[in-house]
Chains A and B, each alone.
Chain A
Amino acid sequence: MAGEKNLAAAGAPATGALTLGRVNAAPAQTWNRLRTNDVTLTVPVRDRKGDVYFALPRLFEGVACGMGADVTAWAESQAAGARYVEVPRGERRAEPIVVSVSAAAGEVADTGVMVRAGAEATIVVAAGTTAGDSAPSEGAPDAAPTSGSLLRVIAERGARVRIVEVIGVGAGEQHLESVGIRAEADARVEVSQYALGGGTVTLGLSCDLTGDRARIDLTQRYHAAGSEHLDVNEVVRHHGRGTRSELAYSGVLEDAAAKSLRTTIDLVHGARGAQGNEAEAVLVLGDDVTNKTLPVILCDEDDVAGNHGATIGSVSPEQLAFLASRGLSREDAEALFVRALFEDAIMAAPCDEARAVAVARAEAVLGPEVAHDFSDSLGEGGEDAC
């Protein structure tokens, strides 16, 4: 494929486990007793003695990733290859750049995408549990079957980048999704994230809006149930003048699910005219849910605007009364919220790999019949199949 290099190294079975502390650490921390500043993860480690580590071009070392330096180092050392994709100046790339990993197979990807000035590209991360062509992971002592994706993106002046991440693992599995973005002047980045649970989903994103008028629009929808765990850390730093960030989160938590969401809008000195907005709506449906949120705004410039809003709760009695008058019970109403979330994930998936992850999770949560209804409504492969 033109403009793409797969700097591959051989894979090897996991032979040990590594505990990573201070993963997904918020840049501005608070009381440690709240246990919301970061998360500790145990990940499998493959024996790489004698391997040559292939790495992305040095330019990507300057792109910080959301889960932190330790996860970056782990992913770089464990990835089967370092994949570099360059979208030439002014080119509109129709074919999505797809990163597909499986927790069951213990796959880790390290991807760097350079979108040159004025170019356009779509990047899809599909993180699921299907083993695919890879051999099932043998696992590692003391570590859950784990997949990882390290994605670093440089969007040059005027570039347009769309990133779609669909993540849903199996019970007892975990996925580490760490994204770093650098957006130069007039670049625009759209990110759609679907964290669909299944086991432990950890997701970090770091975006530096370095150029004037650069912009990021991020939407995240999530679902977690049972004893699933979702841990998110997303940071947007506004360096350039007139930069803009719009972050929107919504999700449903059921049963005894646990979620931690850290978001940071950092309005750096000199980012005159910058504006950062963040909003979260959480629907809590389980009596044993733990929902933690740390929405931070850091402001070192006066000519800026930073806004945050959050609503956390259940379906209100007034809403339920309205729905009851239309013949919907509480259970019906709550099921509709969950169904809408998965339907959106399936509809928005731009390629088969992502759609397969969403359908698999919809099957697990809503049952095969509902999931197949969604698939059928899209037709064979969907319009945007790759």
Chain B
Amino acid sequence: MSAERSAAEAASEQAQSRTRTQVADVDRSLYDFTKSEEGYERYDDGLTPDIVRSISAKKDEPDWMLEMRLAALEEYHRRPMAPNWGPSIAGLDLDHISTYVSPKTKQAKSWDDVPEDIKDTFERLGIPEAERESLAGVGAQYDSEIVYHNMREDVAKQGVVYTTIEDALHDPQWEPVVHQYFGTLIPPTDHKFAALHYAVWSGGSFVYVPAGVTLDYPLQSYFRLNAAGAGQFEHTLIIVEPGANLHFIEGCSAPKYYEANLHAGAVELFVKDGARLRYSTIENWSKNMYNLNTKRATVGADAKMEWVSGSFGSHVSYLYPTTIMAGDRSSCEFTGITFAGATQDLDTGCKVIMNGADTTASVDTKSISKDGGVNTFRSSVVVGRHADRARCSVSCQSLMLDDISRSDTIPAMDVRNATAQVGHEATIGRISDDTILYLMSRGCSEAEARTLVVNGFANPVSKELPLEYAVEMNNLIKMEMEGAIG
């Protein structure tokens, strides 16, 4: 009997020591290039009321905004981080972060007017080309300020406004609108880094889509953090009026440094009755970045909110786009993928709050962990007492590519309506030997089979992206796999 067991254990050992899928690190050469900061305006490291006043003064803001900044600064200092959950941010020291770094250039409407080194940066990232081919408008932020902003004339003629928050604040028509919405969906008291954001925010976008207007092409904002030891705190405020339709794309990247960088942006999305907003993000920060970003949408009656989210970069991420389904028959779809490699601890997911009757929500996420990377899928679904007949399904699939990585799923559900239906499923595992064997029996090599499975795993997300962004995502996963499987 013991001999039989030994044989079985030996066979098991042999199977367990099989060749694992080897996936190389993301090729970051496309993103890992730096430009000199010579001549840039850089505020002192740290966080003081004087720095906050300086940022506000530089932007010549209304008084209410300065008051909001200073109150948020107090909130930041007062507020502790939750001690019982989330990745460590011990390596982040605000005393060694500059909250404002800006190239000495004015915002341009033509790429020809953008300084050569900055223009070169965005050309290498493919932004001007994308603008020419498939976008209705582009905003490009370099460190703390928007350096380029432009929108197609035909879109502007429809009454669409796409500008910076700063410019909107200086426009008598739009300043009251910004004042009405800014900081209402994500209040400065939301959490510690929301407070920090409101104290030192700079850059970002203001988008207003009039009622009934449909944009045929997406708008895109791209955020590039070039400076070492700096923070980027852009604020995006989008208002989609009743019956309007917008696709907004957000991209971000940074070169790698050995000192911590911080991204603490905020995205507030107001999707009015019968409107539709798709918000797509490909996040590819470098691995020295603490990405503590906050995104939130409120959705009116018969309106639809769609999130497409790809998280590939950063050292630590806390990222949970939130959808408040306030209106009856509103709907929400969240499709996301997170890829955590060496040195990365990515805590991502989403929150759905269903308050309206007959609301529907669908969450579909994938995660891939390799080389010691840590993935945590964290979500919450809250169904309120008035959300009659609400329907929600959450699906979370995690793929482990080696035994030194980690993948956790922490989904919470709080249902307070007897007529609601909430479903949740989560799976964690590796690529099964049976699947590989089946594909090999159909003529694939083992390497091809494993590549096929991982690409298929990511496909539901990439197919939701515009072609050029799907290509970028594949650049981050697929291409590196094909050459690296041993």
Contacts and interface: CB of A to CB of B under 8 A. Distances in A.
Interface of A: 28-32, 34, 36-37, 241-242, 267, 269, 272-273, 282, 284-314, 316
Contacts of A290: 414, 416
Given A31-B380, A291-B415, A297-B409, 14 more contacts: A34-B380, A37-B84, A241-B12, A242-B12, A284-B417, A293-B415, A298-B408, A302-B400, A305-B429, A306-B427, A307-B428, A308-B426, A309-B425, A312-B421
B256 interface: no
B414 A292 contact: yes
Contact of B412 (A293, A298, A308): A293
B24 to A, nearest CB: 17
Contacts of A312: 413, 415, 420-423
A247 to B, nearest CB: 13
A316 B426 contact: no
Contacts of A298: 408
Given A288-B385, A306-B428, A301 B403 contact: yes
B34 interface: no
A307 B400 contact: no
Given A297-B428, A306-B428, A316 B412 contact: no
Q: Which of B412, B416, B417, B427 has the most CB of A within 10 A?
A: B412
A267 B369 CA distance: 15
10 contacts: A31-B380, A241-B12, A272-B403, A296-B411, A297-B426, A304-B429, A305-B429, A307-B428, A310-B413, A314-B418
Given A307-B426, A310-B423, A289 B412 contact: no
Contacts of B359: none
Nearest to B18: A303
B425 A308 contact: yes
A29 B85 contact: yes
B85 A302 contact: no
Nearest to A298: B408
Contacts of B400: 299, 301-302, 304
A299 B428 contact: yes
Interface residues of B, number: 41
B407 interface: yes
Contacts of A304: 400, 428-430
B427 A305 contact: yes
Contacts of A28: 85, 408, 410
A302 B414 contact: no
A303 B16 contact: yes
B422 A311 contact: yes
Q: Which of B380, B407, B419, B428 has the most CB of A within 10 A?
A: B428
A334 B378 CA distance: 34
A308 B409 contact: yes
B401 interface: yes
B419 A314 contact: yes
Contacts of A305: 427-429
The 8 closest A-B pairs by CB, nearest first: A302-B400, A313-B421, A306-B428, A29-B85, A312-B422, A310-B424, A308-B426, A302-B430
Contact of A30 (B378, B418, B429): B378
B385 A296 contact: no
A242 B11 CA distance: 13
Contacts of A292: 412-415
A179 B410 CA distance: 23
A51 to B, nearest CB: 35
Contacts of B405: 302
B276 interface: no
Contacts of B378: 30
A313 to B, nearest CB: 4
A316 B420 CA distance: 10
Contacts of A294: 410-413
Interface string B8-43: 000010001000100000000000000000000000
Nearest to A186: B5
B175 interface: no
A313 B426 contact: no
B406 interface: yes
B144 interface: no
Contacts of B3: none
Nearest to B398: A299
A302 B410 contact: no
B408 A302 contact: no
Contact of A306 (B411, B421, B429): B429
Nearest to B411: A295
Nearest to A300: B406
Given A304-B429, A306-B428, A29 B84 contact: yes
A299 B406 contact: yes
Contact of A289 (B403, B408, B418): B418
Contact of A36 (B20, B414, B420): B414
Contacts of B402: 302
A34 B412 contact: yes
Scoring A29, A30, A284, A291 by chain B CB atoms within 10 A of each residue's CB, the highest score goes to A30
B385 A302 contact: no
Interface string B156-180: 0000000000000000000000000
B90 interface: no
Contacts of A313: 419-422
B426 A295 contact: yes
Contacts of B413: 291-294, 310, 312
Interface centre among A34, A305, A313 (most CB of B within 10 A): A313
Interface in B69-94: 82, 84-85
Contacts of A299: 398, 400, 406-408, 428
A232 B477 CA distance: 40
A34 B414 contact: yes
A302 B426 contact: no
